[in-house]
Amino acid sequence: MKPSTIVLIICIVLAGSASLYTQTPPASSKPEAFEPLPTLNASTILQPQYLSGPNFTVRDPVPTDSGSDQYTIDSDYGVFTADGNAMLMRRVAEIQGIAALQAMSQTTEFTQAAAQAAATPLNVAQDLVTNPLPTLASVPRGILGFLNQAGQAVKNVADGNASGIGQGQLVENLSGFAKTKRDLALRLGVDPYCNNQVFQNELNKVAWPAFLGKVAVGLGMGAVGGAAGATLHGLNWTATLQDSLRDKSPGELRQMNLDLLTNNMGIAPDAANAFVNNSAISPTTQTLTVAALAQLGNIPGQGEFILQAANSQDEHDALAFQQSALIMANLNNTTPVARITHLNGLTVCQTNDGTVVVPIQWDYVAWTPMVERFVTALKTAHFDQRPSGYLVAITGVISPMAGDALTARAIKFSEKQLPNPLN
């Protein structure tokens, strides 16, 4: 979620629950002790592979803003920011991916292949006139209408200059070319649809010769470190799921996810369509979210979760919903989730034993007045099944003071619920 989203949700929860718990404290009660939000040190909190590498360094001051650690990354390819731990992992993977793609593009083999690739569409178009039947048999449907227009676009792609629209988009729509791009990105541990334009430029530059079979897809991948592959994991990662992300177009993924939501989970078509057609949710994030929800079985509340996720405004929002779904899927492996509910927009689930669980992307929990009021509101909220206990399951860590305060209020907590960059 955006930096302010966690605070906004908590404020809404508090506003909706205030009448349930507001009371005048006894005159003898002592003022609650709280702590300020800290500025963390990257060199202290991060695993080495996320702190620095051959092509990047994370700046040491890491402010904690509204539940998200705020990172600035200096790299050989520019300065990047990461709003939260999950985005830091993505940025590091993208930077490593850029390095690997550049390593591929600088080989003699690539240079020769790129030169051959630039002329290929025009050669194919000429072959349609001189030798039509074999040529038609070798060209996938959908390409023929624009092959004559594609020559300059292919050259732009080979040079890394395609803008992603106009002529460049024509080439990206070639059958097989987009699949090659997805295959390359996934091998690098990067979302093929990420909004990092530097990465996308390098991906376009390499994918065309690779698509034509002139350059092996794995060439130069040795530049990728161990951190990259962790970014897309966090659930039962199956070969079938990875194959779907590689082999299916965005439209095919949307239809697959729509079918799962409406036919398998019984989610209302309006909510399902709003979710799969939200451009702020990348096809990868969409697919991983649906796959995680599917692991829960057909339980109450999935439709409301999808409706909430459909309101995502940007990549960070969408990733936060994905992580909530992943936390619930992992929890379901040991303690089955019975239902998903919402407290004024905040995702909450209950397990079969009645435990109320808050599965949330939260990098650093400090004990502040806001968190104290949130905990009180949570414990006074109404649930269909009487709570047998409370658990806050987060992606990050909880300060010692916050941990003590939660324990004193009979709130259990679990940290680092998903792969993360923290020590």
Could you tell me which residues are beta bridge partners of residue 64? Answer: 69
421 band by pLDDT with thresholds 50, 70 and 90: very high
Q: Where are the domains of the chain?
A: 108-219
Query: Residues 231-281: pLDDT tens digits?
Result: 454 444 567 788 899 999 999 999 999 999 999 999 999 999 999 999 999
Exposed (0-12), middle (13-18) or buried (19+): which is 272, by Cβ within 10 Å?
buried
Q: What is the mean pLDDT of residues 286-308?
A: 95
Residue 200 vs residues 4, 204, 382: alpha-carbon distances, Å: 28, 6, 47
pLDDT digit string, tens, across residues 85-111: 999 999 999 999 999 999 888 888 777
Average pLDDT score, the chain: 80
Interatomic CA distance for residues 256 and 261, integer angstroms? 9
112 vs 57, residue with greater confidence:
57
Question: Quick one: what percent of the chain has pLDDT higher than 90?
Answer: 58
DSSP per-residue codes, 177-240:
HHHHHHHHHHHTT--TT---HHHHHHHHHHHHHHHTTSS-TTTTGGG--TTGGGGG-SS---HH
Helix axes 150-159, 197-211, angle to 10 degrees: 120
Burial status of residue 401 (CB atoms within 10 A of its CB: 0-12, 13-18, 19 or more): middle
Distances (CA, A) of 377 to 108, 295, 380: 63, 29, 5
d(CA 124, CA 131): 10
Q: What pLDDT is attached to residue 110? A: 79
Predicted confidence band of residue 213 (pLDDT cuts 50, 70, 90): low
Q: Do the beta carbons of residue 357 and residue 348 sit within 8 Å?
A: yes
Which helix (H) or strand (E) element contains residue 375? helix 369-380
- Predicted confidence band of residue 117 (pLDDT cuts 50, 70, 90): low
**134 against 97, higher pLDDT:** 97
Query: What integer pLDDT is reported at residue 205 of this predicted model?
Result: 83
φ, ψ for residue 364, nearest 5 deg = -145, 120
Residue 287 is predicted with a pLDDT of: 95
